[in-house]
Every structure is written in structure tokens, then in C-alpha cells.
């Protein structure tokens, strides 16, 4: 019976993100962001609390991946205003025009993204996504009238501001006129360092040579560092400058009034603003997920409660970006049906630890809504925790040995795991006496089997290799190894335990041959036979797998040939139908020619005196009746009966298709558009086939 276990907060984190190096996934996602907004969402990324939420995130990423092929969402130029916005909404920050311009850009982006998501044809997931954006049209229009992209308050912000800026223009013109009057006095020119005014504290001043400063009447504002120049505002300019200064001060006060009014409006709309930014954050993260699909070839897996784990052609994200990515061997793994516990064995450096990390990391990625570096068809069960003991580092701060550190982590896994959890244990039973370690490891496997957790375990201990043979719901797996070249193949093989190949590897790296031979002798004949048997089984399985792939390839080739023959048969049947069409067309053309030759002399006899005219009419009627009985005529009438206005029909007489404008079934004529002309032709002139193109 499974051991029931309820998750407990005291057990600590239920997902070992750090051990499985989830930060590498965060870095990968961060590189795909379009704005700074998504960074906080990625830092907080964790498994969703429900399978439905994870499925929704994957559905959104998949739908966005399709949309990204056409165009990216309008996120360019969006910055993160939350640094000042949160204090502002809390009443702890005074709103500035620069803040307002930044918020304007963000809210306009939210409005445009909402429209982009809802654009037809919209996937259901994107339509739901768009509904999360608040209606910001009125607020955006108000901000558009208040501030521009550079952070300048616009004239349209208030009528008073517009009036003041007109007054500023008038005052500036007055200052310029006063400056011109001052410079019109030729006697002052030799007193000045330059005829161009400088500005100090918003007032026009002139640089006057020190020795002439008494000759220029006005207000002294500043001196140069050398003392050779003094800066004087001429008396003739003071009054005009005062008017300009007063008007600009009034402008500043009006801008503060405007900002205060806008701030009160933003405070009233704080929930909509926060919702808009939250939606942009979510969209930025969703786009990053989608770009993994588009740019990296990741896939959105199926997520469900109680389904089996199926990872197809899975790759570890870190290894994909490393120098060894080209030679990376994808991992195929199944867990949950028919077995929930997998014992993986094989030599060191054979990829066992990488396999565990790949399984754990991809499961967590899936539960976080992140697409997987795997093939289509991959499935991930919704688990309530991923508990891991990977690595042999010593817990120095706790004065723990390697073995004690392992046991401490395993105890936590066993305490916290439920039948809905995934447990990953690396080198179970290692770090102590093999007999004791094997016994302890065996007990751990029994506990996991009773609990019903999904579990994958790696080990070198022979005793643990026997566990799967003795317990239902458990299975052996091995990382394959080429016994001839003594090279790991990094392929997970299910159903057979792997050999450690320790003696083979020792000999390869330089251990003296006599020592290796003595070790084999001490190992014993029975153990070596087991190793040899395992190796032979693996070789047989590899050959069988090669045969299976060869057979599958032959089947695919046979299916390809069958499909090609089927297409050729369809082409032959189509060509045969065309030949019948051509024959019918030739017959119709010949009958028409014969009928025309007979009816020509009959036409001159129709008005002849009795009984010749009547006889000619009888012959004509009999000729037409005979024509109506032919298969060609019946087919033509059936075809003409289905004609509709504006359809194309081929007319042999004109050697071209013509547009049908009207069908008169009483008179048996069709009104056609031939180029720019309209004309009527009898049904007999209509063909039910198009001219054939042998190409």
C-alpha cells in the first residue's frame, strides 16, 4: 500500500530549483525578454499551483509563437516605471513631467498590446490574455494632451498654460528689443568682451571688460574666474527681463498645478495602472517563452494530473549552449506507466547524473510554463514537488561527511515526498561500505515503491540492480557503453541494468595489466559472468534496436513508394478521364458539323410551298430530336443546367472561356460576355470541358 503523506511547510521548499540549476533557465528566458519589465517575473518564476495554470501558460506561449511569425507585440521602448510608481501611489513621491512621459509610453504600449492580442484571427488563449488588460483609452488620451515623449508639458494641458506661453513669447521679444537698443549705442561695444548676451539665472547679461565696468549701467551678476570680465545686466534690459522672469515663474507654477491635477487622476486610476503594468509584465514573460519555441525549437508539452512522464529527445538547456552542444545525445525517458521507479546504472562519466538533472529540470520548466528542449509529444505530470539528492559535496558547515550529507538530503526527500511527487537520487548507497550502502539503498527504494512516488535513481551497487526484478512498478535502465571502444554512448536504455566497466576503464587509462587481471580474479567468476551477460544483453538489444530502425526505415520507404504509386494511379485515371472528355468533344464537334451541313439546305426549303416546306420542317425536327437522344447532348444539357451567373464556360467557336451573364432555358441560349462584347449562343455551342494542357 502506498504510504500517504501530506505536504508540510516544515519540510522546506518542495522544488529543488537551486540543485537543478534553474537559474540557467532564468538566464535563458531573460535573454529573450523585450523589456525590463519581465525581469522581476523571471526572478519570481516558480511552478504553478495548478495544472490548469501551467497549461494556460503553455497555450499562450504556443499561440504567441504562431503570432510572432507575422509580427512582434508593440513592446519596443517600454521601460519599467515601478521604481517611482509604487512610492508615488503610496503618496511618497512627487510626480514629475519625466515620470509622466514614461508612464504615458507604458500605458500606450498596454493599449496597443491589448489590440495586438485581440487582432483577428485571435487564438482563444490570446483573446483571454487580452481581456486581462484594462480599458485605458481615456487615460491615454488625457496623457497625450498633457505631456510629450520627451517629458515636456504640452500647451494643451491647460488653457492658462497656453496663454502664459503666448505671453512668454511676447516677453522674449521684448527682451530681444531691449538688447538691440542697448547694442545700438556704439560707445558700449568697446566695453564688451562679446556683443552676444550670456544668461545668468534666466536673465540676459553681457561680459564687460573689468576696466570699463563703470561705463555700463546695470546689475552686476557674476565675475569670470580670472576677474578680467564682469557680467552685467544693462539697466535698459532689466524691466523687459523682469516681465519675462515673472511670466516664466507663472508658467512653472501652472505646470505644478497641472502635475498635481494629473497626480490626483492617476491616484484614482491606480488599480487600472497597476493592472496594465502587471499585464505587460506577464506578456513580456509569455513572449520570452514563445521565443524559445520560435528561435530555439523548444516545445509546449502536455501537462496533466496523473499522466505518465514522457520526455522525447530531451536535452539539458545548459549543455545546449555549451561547447559540446553539437555532440549532445538527446534523452528519451518514460516514468509512470507501467513503472513509477527507474533504477539507472552504468559506468562513471556515462551520463547518469546528467539524465537525472535533465529529467528534474525539464519537469520544473514545464510546471513553470516554460517550453521544453524536447520533441513534440512530450508529456509531464503535474507533481506537487521535485526532491533531489544530486552531487557528493560535503556539508562542511554542518561537519558532515559525503555519506552523511547524502543521507540528510535523502531523509528530507522521504519525509516530504508524496505519491504525486518526483524524487531523483544520484549514486544511492555510495560513500560508505558497499554492503551497508546497498542494504540502506534497498530500503530507500522499498520506501519509495510503497509511497508510490515517481522516482529515478542512479547507482553502481549490484544489489540495487536486482530491485526492479523483484518489485512490480520498478524498472531497470542503463546508460549505454561501447565495450569495444570503452566509450560512453549517453543513450538511456530501458529494461536492462548497466555494467560499471570499472576494470575495463582502469585498463584503458593506464592501470597495469597484471593489476587489472588480479582484480578480475578477485572479483570472482560469478560476478564477471553477470557483467558479461549484461554486456551481451546490451549488445543484443542494440542490434535489435538497429534492426528495428532499419525495419522502420524500410517501412517508411515502402509507404513512400506506395504513396507514389497511388499518386501515379490517380494521374492515370485522371488522364483516362481526360481522354474520354476529348473523345466526347470530338464527337460533339463532328455531330455539330454534320447537323449544320444538313440544316443549311433545309433552311431555304422551310418557306417553300406545301408539301415541301412541311417536309423540310419535319426533317429538321427529326434531326434535332435525334441529336437530343445522344449521350453527348444529354451531358451538355446537364452541364448547362448547372450554369450560374458570372461562372466561366468554354466556347469552342471562340476558342476561349467566356463569362456567363444569363441562361435562358426556354430558348436554350446563353448570354455571354466575350471580352467587352455581349452575345447569345445556343446551348449546342457550350462545351462542358476546358481545352487540355498536356503540360
Whole-number percent of the chain with pLDDT over 90: 32
pLDDT at 666: 75
Segment 106-111 mean pLDDT: 93
**What does residue 551 show for φ and ψ, rounded to 5 degrees?**
-65, -40
What is the signed CA dihedral for 317, 321, 327, 331, rounded to 10 degrees?
Answer: 0
pLDDT at 460: 77
pLDDT band at 374 (very low <50, low <70, confident <90, very high): very high
pLDDT band at 604 (very low <50, low <70, confident <90, very high): low
pLDDT at 44: 93
Please report, for the chain, the start and end positions of each structural domain, with discontinuous segments joined by +: 32-156+262-296, 304-501, 634-695
- Alpha-carbon torsion 266, 270, 272, 274, what sign? positive
Highest mean pLDDT among 73-87, 549-563, 612-626: 73-87
> Which distant-in-sequence residues (6+ apart) come within 8 Å of 320 by Cβ?
296, 328, 373
Can you state the angle between helices 51-68 and 352-367, rounded to 10 degrees? 90
Asked if pLDDT for residue 676 goes beyond 90, the answer is no
- Tell me the longest C-alpha to C-alpha distance in the chain: 142
Pairing of strands 669-674, 656-664: antiparallel
Segment 50-70 mean pLDDT: 91
Count of Cβ atoms closer than 10 Å to residue 307 Cβ = 15
pLDDT at 603: 61
Transcribe 660-672 into DSSP letters: EEEEETTTTEEEE
pLDDT at 496: 63
Asked if pLDDT for residue 276 goes beyond 70, the answer is yes
- Looking from the CA of 551 toward its CB, the CA atoms found within 13 Å total 6
pLDDT tens readout for residues 7-48: 443 445 889 898 899 999 999 999 999 999 999 999 999 999
Q: Could you tell me which CATH class the domain 32-156+262-296 is placed in?
A: mainly alpha
E strand spans, 254-393 = 302-304, 309-314, 331-335, 341-345, 379-381, 386-389
Highest mean pLDDT among 83-87, 191-195, 535-539: 83-87
Asked if pLDDT for residue 303 goes beyond 90, the answer is yes
pLDDT tens readout for residues 171-201: 989 988 888 888 888 778 778 878 888 888 8
pLDDT at 458: 87
User: Rounded to whole angstroms, how far apart are CA atoms 304 and 306?
Assistant: 6
Q: Does domain 634-695 have CATH number 2.30.30.30?
A: yes
Window from 122-136, 200-214, 530-544, 586-600 with minimum mean pLDDT: 530-544
pLDDT at 4: 40
pLDDT at 511: 67
Q: H or E element: which one contains 627?
A: helix 612-628
What is the rounded radius of gyration, in angstroms, for the C-alpha atoms of the chain?
44
Segment 233-262 mean pLDDT: 90
Name the average pLDDT for the chain: 80
Q: Is the pTM of this model over 0.85?
A: no
Highest mean pLDDT among 571-585, 589-603, 643-657: 643-657
User: Rounded to whole angstroms, how far apart are CA atoms 611 and 633?
Assistant: 31
- 304-501 falls under which CATH superfamily? P-loop containing nucleotide triphosphate hydrolases (3.40.50.300)
Amino acid at each position: 500500500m502506498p504510504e500517504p503523506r501530506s505536504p508540510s511547510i516544515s519540510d522546506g521548499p518542495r522544488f529543488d530549483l537551486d540543485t537543478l540549476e534553474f537559474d540557467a533557465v532564468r538566464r535563458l528566458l531573460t535573454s529573450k525578454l523585450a523589456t525590463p519589465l519581465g525581469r522581476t517575473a523571471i526572478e519570481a518564476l516558480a511552478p504553478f499551483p495548478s495544472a490548469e495554470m501551467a497549461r494556460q501558460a503553455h497555450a499562450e506561449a504556443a499561440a504567441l509563437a504562431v503570432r510572432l511569425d507575422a509580427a512582434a507585440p508593440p513592446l519596443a521602448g517600454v521601460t519599467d516605471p515601478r521604481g517611482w510608481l509604487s512610492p508615488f501611489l503610496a503618496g511618497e513621491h512627487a510626480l514629475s513631467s519625466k515620470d509622466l512621459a514614461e508612464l504615458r509610453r507604458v500605458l500606450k504600449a498596454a493599449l496597443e498590446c491589448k489590440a495586438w492580442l485581440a487582432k483577428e484571427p485571435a487564438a482563444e488563449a490570446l483573446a483571454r490574455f487580452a481581456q486581462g488588460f484594462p480599458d485605458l483609452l481615456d487615460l491615454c488620451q488625457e496623457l497625450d494632451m498633457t505631456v510629450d515623449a520627451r517629458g515636456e508639458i504640452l500647451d494643451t494641458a491647460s488653457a492658462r498654460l497656453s496663454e502664459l506661453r503666448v505671453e512668454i513669447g511676447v516677453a522674449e521679444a521684448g527682451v530681444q528689443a531691449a538688447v538691440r537698443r542697448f547694442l545700438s549705442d556704439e560707445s558700449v561695444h568697446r566695453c564688451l568682451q562679446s556683443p552676444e548676451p550670456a544668461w545668468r539665472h534666466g536673465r540676459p547679461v553681457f561680459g564687460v571688460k573689468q576696466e570699463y565696468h563703470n561705463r555700463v549701467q546695470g546689475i552686476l551678476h557674476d565675475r569670470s574666474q580670472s576677474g578680467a570680465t564682469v557680467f552685467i545686466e544693462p539697466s535698459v534690459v532689466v524691466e523687459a527681463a523682469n516681465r519675462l522672469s515673472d511670466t516664466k515663474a507663472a508658467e512653472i507654477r501652472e505646470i505644478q498645478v497641472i502635475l498635481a491635477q494629473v497626480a490626483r487622476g492617476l491616484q484614482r486610476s491606480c488599480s487600472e495602472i497597476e493592472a496594465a503594468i502587471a499585464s505587460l509584465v506577464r506578456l513580456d514573460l509569455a513572449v520570452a517563452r514563445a521565443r524559445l519555441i520560435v528561435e530555439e525549437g523548444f516545445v509546449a508539452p502536455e501537462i496533466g494530473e496523473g499522466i505518465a512522464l514522457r520526455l522525447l529527445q530531451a536535452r539539458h538547456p545548459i549543455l545546449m549552449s555549451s561547447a559540446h552542444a553539437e555532440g549532445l545525445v538527446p534523452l528519451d525517458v518514460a516514468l509512470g506507466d507501467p513503472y513509477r521507479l527507474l533504477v539507472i546504472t552504468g559506468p562513471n562519466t556515462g551520463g547518469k547524473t546528467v539524465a537525472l538533472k535533465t529529467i528534474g529540470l525539464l519537469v520544473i520548466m514545464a510546471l513553470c510554463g516554460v517550453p521544453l528542449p524536447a520533441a513534440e509529444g512530450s508529456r509531464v505530470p503535474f507533481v506537487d514537488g521535485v526532491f533531489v539528492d544530486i552531487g557528493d559535496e560535503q556539508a562542511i558547515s554542518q561537519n558532515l561527511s559525503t555519506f552523511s550529507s547524502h543521507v540528510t538530503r535523502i531523509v528530507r526527500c522521504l519525509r516530504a515526498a508524496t505519491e504525486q511527487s518526483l524524487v531523483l537520487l544520484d549514486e544511492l548507497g555510495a560513500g560508505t561500505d558497499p554492503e551497508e550502502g546497498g542494504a540502506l539503498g534497498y530500503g530507500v527504494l522499498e520506501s519509495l515503491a510503497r509511497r508510490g512516488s515517481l522516482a529515478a535513481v542512479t547507482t553502481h551497487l549490484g544489489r540495487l540492480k536486482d530491485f526492479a526484478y523483484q518489485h512490480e512498478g520498478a524498472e531497470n535502465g542503463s546508460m549505454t557503453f561501447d565495450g569495444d571502444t570503452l566509450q560512453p554512448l549517453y543513450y538511456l536504455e530501458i529494461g536492462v541494468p548497466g555494467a560499471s566497466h570499472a576494470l575495463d576503464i582502469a585498463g584503458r587509462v593506464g592501470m597495469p595489466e597484471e593489476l587489472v587481471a588480479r582484480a578480475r580474479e578477485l572479483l570472482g567468476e560469478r560476478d564477471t559472468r553477470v557483467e558479461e551477460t549484461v554486456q551481451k544483453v546490451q549488445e543484443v538489444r542494440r542490434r535489435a534496436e538497429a534492426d528495428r530502425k532499419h525495419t522502420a526505415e524500410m517501412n517508411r520507404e515502402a509507404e513512400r513508394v506506395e504513396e507514389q504509386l497511388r499518386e501515379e494511379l490517380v494521374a492515370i485515371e485522371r488522364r483516362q478521364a481526360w481522354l474520354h472528355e476529348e473523345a466526347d468533344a470530338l464527337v460533339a464537334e463532328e455531330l455539330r458539323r454534320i447537323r449544320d451541313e444538313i440544316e443549311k439546305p433545309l433552311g431555304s426549303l422551310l418557306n417553300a410551298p406545301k408539301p415541301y416546306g412541311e417536309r423540310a420542317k419535319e426533317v429538321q425536327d427529326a434531326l434535332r430530336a435525334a441529336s437530343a437522344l445522344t449521350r453527348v447532348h444529354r451531358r451538355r444539357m446537364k452541364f448547362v443546367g448547372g450554369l450560374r451567373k458570372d461562372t466561366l464556360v468554354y466556347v469552342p467557336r471562340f476558342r476561349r472561356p467566356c463569362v456567363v451573364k444569363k441562361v435562358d432555358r426556354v430558348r436554350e441560349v446563353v448570354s455571354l460576355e466575350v471580352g467587352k462584347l455581349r452575345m447569345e449562343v445556343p446551348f449546342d455551342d457550350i462545351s462542358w470541358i476546358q481545352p487540355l494542357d498536356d503540360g
